[in-house]
Amino acid sequence: MKVRTLALAAFLAATMASTVAVAAPRGFTVEDMVAMDRVGTPVVSPDGSRIVYTVRGTDVAKNKGHTDLYLVDLKAARPTPQRLTSHAASSTDPEWSGKGDAIYFLSTRSGSSQVWRLPLKGDKAGEPVRVTDLPLDVDNFRVSPTGDRIALSMAVFRDCADLACTKSRMDAKAKDKATGMVYDRLFVRHWDTWADGRNAVLYSLPLDASGKAAGTPVSLSGTLDGDVPSKPFGDREEYRFSPDGKTIVFSVRIAGKTEAWSTNFDLYTVPAAGGQAPRNLTADNPAWDAKGVFSPDGRTLAYLAMARPGFEADRYQVMLMDVASGAKRKLAADWDRSAGGLQWSADGKSLVVDAEDVGQHRLFSIDAASGKVTALTGKGAIGGYDLRGGTLAYTQANLSSGAQLYAVKAGSVNPVQLTTLNKERLADVRWGESEQFSFKGANGDTVYGHVMKPWNYEPGKQYPIAFLVHGGPQGSFGNGWSYRWNPQTYAGAGYAAVFIDFHGSTGYGQKFTDAISGDWGGKPLEDLQKGLAAAVAKYPWLDRSRACALGASYGGYMMNWIQGNWPDGFKCIVNHDGVFDTRGMAFSTEEQWFTDWESGGSYFTVPQNHEKFNPVLFVNNWKTPMLVVQGDLDFRIPTAQGLSAFTALQRKGIESKLLVFPDENHWVLKPANSLLWHHTVINWLDQHLKQ
């Protein structure tokens, strides 16, 4: 009996110790981040009573993600997410049928990417049925509101008479021992892919009474020399049906050999059944027109329009066009924010848009008659959203939480949180607390930034600084969540984080965004210097003597610029895919409009503008230890830029390392590579700031 008692006591003690160990607070790690489930864009049923969305999980052992569909029934007393799919192949891009009795989605479960249909009976899902059986992959799709037709995009050779021709050519190419490609115009490669002669072409197919495709796909955009949707990131948001299902509006850039330096997208309409050439609705605007959305009565087309050709970060103005007459007017012309997307309210009296706003990414409602703008959400970062049947569903994140799903009914001001993804997995994480601050930056302008405490913060102590510089350059490091550059990974490693929205950042008015063009190394550097000084003065727990600067893309450019123009600023630097030589960049990056605009013209017309802030001219000042990271599939800032920076460091005898990813582009996306990236970066910081 005594032995049993002792054994039981030992067991209880061990159990309690284990419980205490599990419950003890800890910092957030990259392993945590990589393993997190991620909620996708919600899609609301036609009557507004249900929401379908995706959740992406990660299999670290297999080094890949997997996506399934989930459903929430808002009519339930306690709306609870229900998993709809569990196939080995991912299920993505959900769309409701017009009647709300089925969900269409994309999956490769048949061996290629095809459209599938999941019937619903109440809250019960039936067996998925394949809708399309085409010889090519379906890249994206939409279902007509009337349920009798589907629009879809596929990559094809435009001179082929049918899909089988494209399939035959691709099969023959795969067997050909010769691998060379001949080009006669730019965009020979884009983002991370070499061009193979195919375009993304929009098609439509009729659906039979059972919801399956019937007949042969009809080309809707194949006569146009462009991609629908656009490459590399375009999706089904670039085309939509009219409410009666008879018309489709889409955006496309037709530029021929000038495409690599053009941002002239136009909106076109075409009968959903085909048979007529697409009609250009915005030929009068030589800049970017996008994301057309018909009003519920079909009489008005809302869309986004930029004003300046060649500028990818111009303000997106909300436009309204009378479908019958073609008359256009600006909506909320004095609202100095750039809209990201559009959704009509059910009564057609207002639009819901998203926009960056002083370090937040919020939803706004705009009255269609008066243009009055009303904020719908507060602090945090909105992701995907949808508005149907009086229900607004959206995802929202912040600096201490990945995105969760929310819904709010028309007339209510209290959104309901529908998901608690990763709650148990991260229950013992103590998040780094963050705070927004402001200071007087370049030109005396008010500039904003954020600071984040380390997870193990104690009053009276000082902590080393990870000074993060965002890319874009027209971007923002605000109150959001990232799976690549996430301040919490540094807070979790015991660092304080500081990040500044310098001149050129988005969400502070278009004039502020414009300020960086032609001035890459001027006002932004001044803001970064003044911002770090202001943060250190305000927050005594920041140890200025131990600071490392980190950045990617434009942020990587700034790392190279800091090396030569702020050489005593930091103990170490991390440069990811950064511009080293603006001349080389001008002649090698794929999207030529970007370097043209930022320097006021092409290199061969205004070389002095490109050279004004060229980091290569100041290499003789370099002395700070630097870690250089480069993705070999990065065609935006090609590999030679990273190799050149590393060569300069090695030739000058500066402590340096080079981390190259042969299978990554401008971003590091694969789970194992993300783990390696973060551990290499944190180890570099530890080496210079903690030892």
pLDDT of residue 393: 98
pLDDT at 122: 74
Specify the pLDDT at position 11.
38
Q: How far is CA 637 from the centre of its chain?
A: 18
The SS3 of residue 674 is helix
Q: For 246-255, how does the pLDDT look when each residue is reduced to its tens digit (9 = 90+)?
A: 999 999 999 8
Supply the pLDDT for residue 624.
98
Q: What is the pLDDT of residue 23?
A: 65
Q: What is the pLDDT of residue 121?
A: 87
d(CA 500, CA 438): 9
pLDDT for position 255: 84
Span 307-363, pLDDT tens digits: 999 999 999 999 999 999 999 999 999 999 999 999 999 999 999 999 999 999 999
Please state the rounded mean pLDDT for residues 7-36.
Answer: 67
Provide mean pLDDT across the span 595-606: 98
Task: List Cα–Cα distances, 137 to 153, 167, 306, 313, 522, in angstroms.
Answer: 9, 10, 32, 32, 47
Is pLDDT at 413 greater than 90 in this prediction? no
- Which residues, 6 or more positions from 651, have their beta carbon under 8 angstroms from its beta carbon? none
Q: What string of H, E and C letters represents the secondary structure of 266-322?
A: EEEEEECCCCCCCEECCCCCCCCEEEEEECCCCCEEEEEECCCCCCCCCCCEEEEEE
Residue 273 has pLDDT above 90, yes or no: yes
- Give whole-number Cα distances, 552 to 473, 575, 680, 690, in Å: 10, 6, 15, 23
* pLDDT at residue 5, rounded to an integer: 38
Specify the pTM.
0.95
pLDDT digits (tens, 9 = 90+) for 635-644: 999 999 999 9
Percent of the chain with pLDDT over 90: 95
d(CA 223, CA 27): 55
d(CA 116, CA 93): 10
Q: Could you write out the DSSP letters of every residue in 208-240?
A: -TTS-B-S--EESSTTSSS-SS-TTT--GGGEE
3-class secondary structure, 397: strand
What residue ranges define each of the domains in the chain, with the CATH number in brackets?
132-174+196-243 (no CATH), 434-689 (3.40.50.1820)
- In this structure, what DSSP letter does residue 257 have? G
Question: 202 phi and psi, to 5 degrees?
Answer: -90, 130
Overall average pLDDT of the 260-264 stretch: 98
The predicted-structure confidence for 555-566, as pLDDT tens digits, reads as follows 999 999 999 999
How confident is the model over 507-534, as a mean pLDDT? 98
* pLDDT tens-digit map of 114-133: 999 999 987 789 999 999 99
The arithmetic mean of pLDDT across residues 419-435, rounded, is 98
Mean pLDDT estimate for the chain: 95
Q: Is the separation of the CB atoms in 398 and 482 below 8 Å?
A: no
| Residue bearing tokens 């970062």 | 381
Between residues 13 and 540, which one has the greater pLDDT?
540
Written as one letter, the residue type at 170 is M
Residues contacting 148, CB < 8 A, separation 6+: 206, 207, 245
Residue 391 pLDDT exceeds 90: yes
Per-residue pLDDT tens over the stretch 195-219: 999 999 999 999 999 999 999 999 9
Euclidean distance between CA atoms 63 and 60, whole angstroms: 5
pLDDT of residue 389: 93
